[in-house]
Amino acid sequence: MSEAMMWLLLRGVWETLAMTFVSGFFGFVLGLPVGVLLYVTRPGQIVANAKLYRTLSALVNIFRSIPFIILLVWMIPFTRVIVGTSIGLQAAIVPLTVGAAPFIARMVENALLEIPTGLIEASRAMGCHAAADRAQSPAT
């Protein structure tokens, strides 16, 4: 393999790793708050809000079900506005982030749902109450 070919291969590996880690980071930054919001607005949770939960859940499900290649093409105008181009490393990060965020949001929600109710009850018994509980009870 020639030296030029080796440099092209190394550049491709570097760009792949950069796209993976940068879009994963921004997907996490977007997905974590959405996942927590999905959990706390779920019926029976701290800040139950059925309309908000259904809306967020529907958006997450819609974006999770769109095949990536369609999302990539669909987001070309948005990508041009954000990064100024629709090709290259920076342009690929935008749809990768938007594609990863709903998956991360649903994983965060499911992880929070797996917390045993006994653990939550025990923490409340030891004095760890939600801010919503404090706001509703009179000051002592």
Q: Average of pLDDT values for 53-69?
A: 94
Q: What is the pTM of this model?
A: 0.81
The mean of the pLDDT values for the chain is 89
Cα–Cα distance list, 26 to 3, 5, 47, 60, 106 (Å)? 34, 32, 26, 16, 15
Residue 98 pLDDT more than 50? yes
**133 — pLDDT class (breaks 50, 70, 90):** low
Helix segments in the chain, DSSP class H: 3-40, 50-65, 68-74, 76-83, 89-113, 117-125, 131-136
Cα–Cα distance list, 42 to 26, 60, 76, 102, 130 (Å)? 24, 14, 33, 16, 15
Considering the domain delimited by 3-136, tell me its CATH architecture: Orthogonal Bundle (1.10)
User: Domain residues of the chain, as ranges?
Assistant: 3-136
